[in-house]
């Protein structure tokens, strides 16, 4: 509970400083998540080459992190309610730091992938606690200021992650090559834990009666692992009995997860939401758009480094126009466009994305791998604008028909589906890219772009089923 104090008093100033410190801590945690979800987009070829991990390691580096995060994100929020946000924040930050150290010192691909899974899992415990802590500890004015800070900080993190990876790899700090992109988290994590132990409110109001449906989360985890392992293993080493059986198991466990959702007393997603056509169509569009966009960013990085023979640093700078377009469009969308245009803005975003992808496809079809980064820059900006408009808008518009008591479950569902879609997109599109690479990397890029264009185009009619308007206050 926040104690009200007279403005201008020493107690009020101390309380204000404490709230700013909590905000800085929460922003640090969220920035770590964004950075670690993007650094491997640039670093994957270097890491695979150094550890002799091959194509399989490249496919799993980003997928493992996002898979664990997506499966456990909703559970992390529920655990915070049950055992206290402070306790879960410290556990999440500590585990994330240790997992980062293991990743940074990993001697082989297997341990690195395990460490990436652990990073995602502990990140899923860490991230939900920040917003819950601020909601309880901040006054209304401070909460409004805090929400205003998230956009710029996370945007800078999404820009900075790949650039940081590119420059650290190129600098080859202490001869460690790619390892500092994970080891830097040790310093940030330790600092975060020290600060968190000092300033986060005690967990006196935790509700031990909160129900956490671990069975549903387990079923969803097996579903995703089965499908993604089968997809990656089959596309890498051939479609033997093992990948086929893995995908089959994933499908069966998804059926069990769906049954659990219908019968559980406290399901992960409220049943009323699944009956809401606007919400479910938005969830489907989100799944397709995020999977296509994330997968595209990954294969574009591979194409620049492996096809155009651009170094990690130059590749990160070459992809910067996409990120700039994404950030600018995202701010424009959330700055009022989404309320004015509603689902029309989703149509516009997906259409702009199609134009950008078609533009790059024309370049690749014409010049193959003889393309400069400057030539690609305008088309990359267009792709970024399209992704920014759609990524930022879809979850907000989908909540247009949701009831107030459904908002929390709906928001958590979209956070999880975005992470899972990112994992699916990275795994699927890199598998397609490497399958087609036997005929040349220009052919692989062409096939990947055609797939992105096709699935994005197929999702556009579904947008018409989403709510016409977004809620009047999309931030809430």
Q: What tens-digit pLDDT sequence spans the chain (476 residues)? A: 344 444 444 444 556 778 888 888 988 998 888 889 888 889 999 999 999 988 889 989 989 998 898 888 878 888 888 888 899 999 999 999 999 999 999 999 999 999 999 999 999 999 888 878 887 777 777 776 776 677 667 767 777 788 888 899 999 988 999 999 999 999 999 999 999 999 888 876 666 666 777 788 888 889 988 988 888 888 877 888 898 999 999 999 999 988 888 887 777 777 777 788 888 898 899 999 989 998 999 999 999 999 999 998 999 999 999 988 988 888 888 777 888 888 999 999 999 999 999 999 999 999 888 898 999 999 999 999 999 888 878 888 887 777 766 666 676 777 788 888 888 888 889 989 998 998 999 999 999 999 999 999 999 999 999 988 876 554 44
Rounded CA-CA distance 379/172 in Å is 31
Cα separations (Å) of 48 from 68, 81, 423, 472? Answer: 21, 40, 18, 47
pLDDT of residue 193: 94
Rounded CA-CA distance 376/382 in Å is 10
Rounded CA-CA distance 73/81 in Å is 13
Please name the residues in contact with 17: beta carbons below 8 A apart, sequence gap of 6 or more.
none
Rounded CA-CA distance 357/395 in Å is 23
Rounded CA-CA distance 328/389 in Å is 9
Contact between residue 109 and residue 96 where contact means Cβ atoms under 8 Å apart: no
304 φ/ψ angles, rounded to the nearest 5 degrees: -65, -45
Please name the residues in contact with 229: beta carbons below 8 A apart, sequence gap of 6 or more.
243, 246
Placement of tokens 């980003």 in the chain: 62
Rounded CA-CA distance 423/272 in Å is 27
Contact between residue 91 and residue 125 where contact means Cβ atoms under 8 Å apart: yes
CA-nearest of 241, 293, 284, 244 to 428 is 293
In the three-class reduction of DSSP (H, G, I as helix; E, B as strand; rest coil), residue 156 is classed as helix
pLDDT of residue 209: 64
Cα separations (Å) of 133 from 205, 265, 268, 295, 448? Answer: 11, 26, 21, 33, 42
Quickly count: other Cβ atoms within 10 Å of residue 163's Cβ.
18
CA-nearest of 286, 269, 280 to 412 is 269
Rounded CA-CA distance 119/97 in Å is 8
């Amino acid at each position: 509970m926040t104690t009200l104090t007279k403005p201008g008093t020493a107690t009020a100033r101390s309380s204000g400083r404490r709230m700013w410190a909590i905000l800085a801590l929460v922003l640090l945690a969220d920035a770590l998540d964004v950075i670690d979800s993007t650094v491997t987009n640039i670093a994957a070829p270097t890491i695979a080459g150094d550890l002799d991990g091959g194509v399989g390691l490249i496919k799993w580096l980003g997928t493992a992190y996002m898979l664990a995060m997506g499966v456990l994100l909703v559970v992390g929020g529920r655990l915070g309610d049950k055992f206290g946000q402070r306790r879960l924040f410290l556990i999440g930050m500590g585990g994330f730091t240790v997992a980062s150290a293991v990743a940074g010192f990993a001697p082989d691909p297997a341990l690195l992938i395990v460490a990436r899974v652990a990073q995602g899992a502990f990140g899923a415990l860490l991230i939900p606690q920040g917003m819950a802590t601020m909601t309880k500890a901040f006054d209304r004015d401070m909460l409004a200021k805090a929400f205003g800070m998230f956009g710029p900080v996370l945007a800078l993190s999404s820009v900075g992650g790949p650039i940081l990876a590119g420059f650290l790899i190129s600098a080859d700090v202490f001869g460690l090559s790619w390892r500092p992109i994970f080891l830097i988290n040790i310093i940030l994590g330790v600092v975060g834990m020290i600060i968190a132990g000092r300033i986060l409110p005690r967990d006196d109001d935790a509700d031990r009666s909160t129900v956490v449906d671990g069975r549903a989360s387990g079923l969803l985890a097996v579903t995703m692992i089965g499908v993604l392992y089968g997809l990656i293993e089959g596309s890498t080493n051939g479609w033997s009995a093992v990948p086929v059986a893995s995908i089959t198991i994933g499908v069966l466990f998804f059926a069990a997860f769906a049954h659990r959702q219908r019968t559980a007393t406290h399901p992960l997603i409220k049943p009323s939401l699944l009956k809401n056509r606007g919400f479910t169509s938005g969830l489907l569009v989100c799944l397709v758009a995020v999977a296509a966009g994330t997968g595209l960013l990954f294969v574009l990085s591979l194409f620049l480094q492996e096809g155009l023979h651009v170094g990690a640093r130059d590749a990160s700078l070459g992809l910067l126009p996409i990120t700039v377009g994404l950030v600018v469009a995202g701010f424009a969308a959330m700055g009022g466009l989404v309320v004015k245009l509603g689902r029309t803005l989703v149509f516009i975003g997906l259409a702009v994305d199609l134009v950008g992808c078609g533009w790059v496809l024309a370049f690749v079809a014409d010049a193959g791998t003889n393309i400069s980064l400057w030539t690609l820059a305008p088309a990359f900006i267009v792709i970024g604008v399209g992704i920014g408009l759609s990524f930022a808008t879809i979850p907000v518009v989908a909540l247009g028909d949701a009831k107030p008591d459904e908002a929390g479950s709906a928001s958590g569902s979209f956070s999880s589906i975005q992470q899972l879609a990112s994992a699916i997109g990275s795994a699927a599109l890199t598998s397609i890219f490497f399958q087609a690479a036997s005929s040349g990397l220009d052919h692989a890029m062409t096939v990947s772009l055609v797939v992105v264009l096709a699935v994005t185009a197929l999702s556009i009619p579904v947008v018409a089923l989403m709510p016409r308007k977004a809620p009047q206050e999309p931030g809430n």
